[in-house]
Chain A
Amino acid sequence: MKTGLILLAPLLGLLWTAPALFLSTAPAWAVNPDEMLADPLLEKRAREISKVLRCLVCQNQSIDDSDADLAKDLRIIVRQRLTAGDSDTAVIDYVVARYGDFVLLKPPFKGATLVLWLGPAVIAGLGLWAMVVFLRRHSGQGGGPGDRQGGGTQAATGARAASRPRPAPLTEDEKKRLAKLLKEDGR
């Protein structure tokens, strides 16, 4: 421990060295009744907003789930802003202005997160493309990369795997066993 300090994170026993974070010793289990708004619609909006704001000191929880002091303060601020008539985005902007994009559990779509948001689609696209290329090569019309040396013209469908040319040919004994093996399994 760099500074010899261990503070107990009430929720998950996170051992924290410096700095001292807003962690009180008496935990308040996430949203408390005394924080809640009387108007159920406003309260519901507050809960939804709280779910997308990160509790900074917990590193991976929303302020709605967290017991940390800072999370509680932010929950109260969210409710105060809502009561004052702010829109949902205005409330979120208010918090982001103070703590930066880091508080958003759903990162905003912008330059720095372009790779993050487009990544999965690009990966899926690449995968799909690779699958199509693979299927084209192997669907029996042309030779696959492995068949290029000589098997390309062979009528593929129904050809026994073992009878096709390959660099390391099987022995007769192996072929028999392989055929038996495949037969045994073909349901």
Chain B
Amino acid sequence: MSKRAIYLAPLSVFLLMAVYFAIGLTKDPKILPSALIDKPVPEFSLPPIDNGTPQGYGKGFSSADLKAGGISVVNVFASWCLPCRTEHPFVTKLAKMKVAKVYGLNFKDAPKYSLKWLKELGDPYDAIGADPKGRVGIDWGVYGIPETFIVDGAGKIRFKYVGPMNGDILENQILPVIEKLKR
């Protein structure tokens, strides 16, 4: 190795680092990929929200529903989650499009508040399952809500979005995945 090359080495290493920094700036370190992508949905069965009646509110759903064929969207929400409120209109919009079944996973929520929340904002979900202890959420790898999963007809998780959905994300991320799965 020539002397000149040795003196150039630190600069080269730094420039390489700078390139990585530049790429790193475009990424959000807080967003984690799901470990469950392309894996079957975890086995679970969620009851409806307890509203004092025997049948409860929101029907409940289980892994069997997600494997029944047809694309489903599982949206994890809670009344205490402020961003869930901001994304609610877009969940409603998605549900109205009838491109997929939209399930609500009511995460670590008190029935009283979730019922009030749904009454106030409207209930866009085809079915809601209550997960008051959050155990099913953990099986789904949930770490910060809202989270939205897209499950294909065979019951495999194909996409996950963390954070509140908005018009842009709905148009450019969620719907394209559903379109692709339809084909």
Chain A interface (Cβ within 8 Å of chain B)?
3-5, 7, 16, 18-22, 56-57, 59, 69-70, 73-74, 77, 96-102, 145
Contact = CB atoms under 8 A, between A and B. Distances in A.
Nearest to A77: B138
Interface residues of B, number: 30
What is the predominant secondary structure among interface residues of chain B facing chain A? loop
Contact of A70 (B30, B143, B162): B143
A98 B35 contact: yes
A30 to B, nearest CB: 18
Contacts of B67: none
Contact of B164 (A19, A59, A102): A19
Contacts of B143: 21-22, 56-57, 70, 99
B174 to A, nearest CB: 15
A152 to B, nearest CB: 15
Contacts of A69: 108, 134
Nearest to A103: B35
B36 interface: yes
Interface string B156-183: 0000001110000000000000000000
Contact of B138 (A7, A21, A74): A74
B138 A102 contact: no
A150 to B, nearest CB: 17
Contact of A100 (B32, B84, B140): B32
8 closest pairs, A vs B, by CB? A100-B35, A19-B144, A20-B81, A21-B144, A18-B83, A56-B143, A98-B141, A19-B163
B147 interface: yes
B60 interface: no
B32 A56 contact: yes
A70 B138 CA distance: 9
A98 B147 contact: no
A74 to B, nearest CB: 7
Interface of B: 3, 29-30, 32-36, 78, 80-84, 86, 108, 134-135, 138-141, 143-147, 162-164
B105 to A, nearest CB: 14
A19 B32 contact: no
A3 B36 contact: no
B82 A99 contact: no
A73 B23 CA distance: 34
B47 to A, nearest CB: 19
A145 B3 contact: yes
B139 A18 contact: no
Nearest to B133: A73
Candidate in A22, A100, A101 with the most chain B CB atoms within 10 angstroms: A22
A100 B34 contact: yes
A70 B135 CA distance: 10
A82 to B, nearest CB: 16
A102 B35 CA distance: 9
B83 to A, nearest CB: 4
B147 A19 contact: yes
A100 B139 contact: no
B159 to A, nearest CB: 15
A101 B135 CA distance: 20
A19 B34 contact: no
A99 B141 contact: yes
